[in-house]
Amino acid sequence: MEGMNTTDPQIVLGTMDFGTRVDPDRAFAILDSFVAGGGIWLDTANCYSFWSDPSGVGGASERVIGAWLRARPGARDAVRIATKVRQNPLVPHSWPESAEGLSARAIRAGVEESLERLGVDHVDLLWAHAEDRTVPLEETVGAFGELVTKGVALRVGAANHAAWRVERARSLAREQGAEPWTALQLRHSLVQPRPSTSLSEAGHRMLAAEDLDLARSEGLSVWSYSSLMWGSYVRADKPLPETYDHPGTAGVLAVLEEVADELSATRNEVVLAWLMRQGIDPIVGASRVEQIEQALAARQVRLGDEHLARFAEAR
């Protein structure tokens, strides 16, 4: 399955809050709207969202998706499902102390439980949610490759991994004759934090130039999360985190306002179009139907080279 990523970038529906902050009825409506609008990819994880769930463990998002699939005959054929292993607390309310790792045993157990919650026999993309340097990379690579061989996962990818670790894992996969990681998932958006500053969100890793370089040279897919910065582009009550408070942000936001006006688009639509113009698949979380409808509308926004140059110059 390895090779150049030739598919056009797509809006990915992020389902992190389904079953916790977003109740099942609203989640069903969002999923229905997403599919009706031509959306294909759903992104979840086995740990979503342990921090919001009274149980102290993940699984709620996958259970809601599974319930939706059961209630919508034929829906499985209309969507592709991506989930993740690594990070789910093995002991309730004990993270990161009991966070599931990336040993072969943990990967197999995590995927088996995910499939059960989703009610499917395979996922279309399985992510390693974060690095686990307590386990030999050879073991992790072998376990992911085994799942592809068995048809449990059609593709595999790495979220929140350093580029050198991804390339090392791909080399090990070649040596083992195993399916390599062919997708990257990292945090990225139009605005960028100050260089060399730490993010307050545990486990987040920013997309770097070397990640894009690796992806473009090797034909890997790139998915971005926190693409719309939790509503900060369009909501005055959702200010950007302090680490984004620098002159470059002000310049970029000014250009964003100008371009949105010129194209008769919302700022969110322009941001998503900017990501897709670079070959990135943006993940968009939604708590209301109108949010996902607006996100899908970004596919109609056409940014030219001149727009990209203006954003680059504003940084």
The predicted-structure confidence for 73-88, as pLDDT tens digits, reads as follows: 999 999 999 999 999 9
Percentage of the chain lying above the pLDDT 90 cut = 94
Q: What is the dihedral of CA 181, 225, 255, 266, to 10 degrees?
A: 120
Higher local confidence (pLDDT), 226 or 202: 226
pLDDT in tens, 58-115: 999 999 999 999 999 999 999 999 999 999 999 999 999 999 999 999 999 999 999 9
pLDDT in tens, 141-169: 999 999 999 999 999 999 999 999 999 99
- pLDDT above 50 for 3: no
For the four alpha carbons of 51, 55, 60 and 64, in that order, the dihedral sign comes to: negative
The 3-state secondary structure of the chain, one letter per residue: CCCCCCCCCCCEEECCCECCCECHHHHHHHHHHHHHCCCCEEECCCCCCCCCCCCCCCCHHHHHHHHHHHHCCCHHHHCEEEEEECCCECCCCCCCCCECCCCHHHHHHHHHHHHHHHCCCCECEEEECCCCCCCCHHHHHHHHHHHHHCCCECCEEEECCCHHHHHHHHHHHHHHCCCCCCEEEEECCCCCCCCCCCCCCCCCCECCHHHHHHHHHHCCEEEEECCCHHHCCCCCCCCCCHHHCCHHHHHHHHHHHHHHHHHCCCHHHHHHHHHHHCCCEEEEECCCHHHHHHHHHHHHCCCCHHHHHHHHHHC
CATH tag, 12-243+266-303: 3.20.20.100
The owner of tokens 């200010």 is 239
Burial 275-284 (b: 16+ CB within 10 A, else e): bbbeebbbbb
pLDDT-derived band at 203, boundaries 50, 70, 90: confident
d(CA 64, CA 61): 5
- pLDDT above 60 for 1: no
Please count the residues of the chain: 315
Q: What is the mean pLDDT of residues 193-213?
A: 91
pTM of structure: 0.95
pLDDT in tens, 9-43: 999 999 999 999 999 999 999 999 999 999 999 99
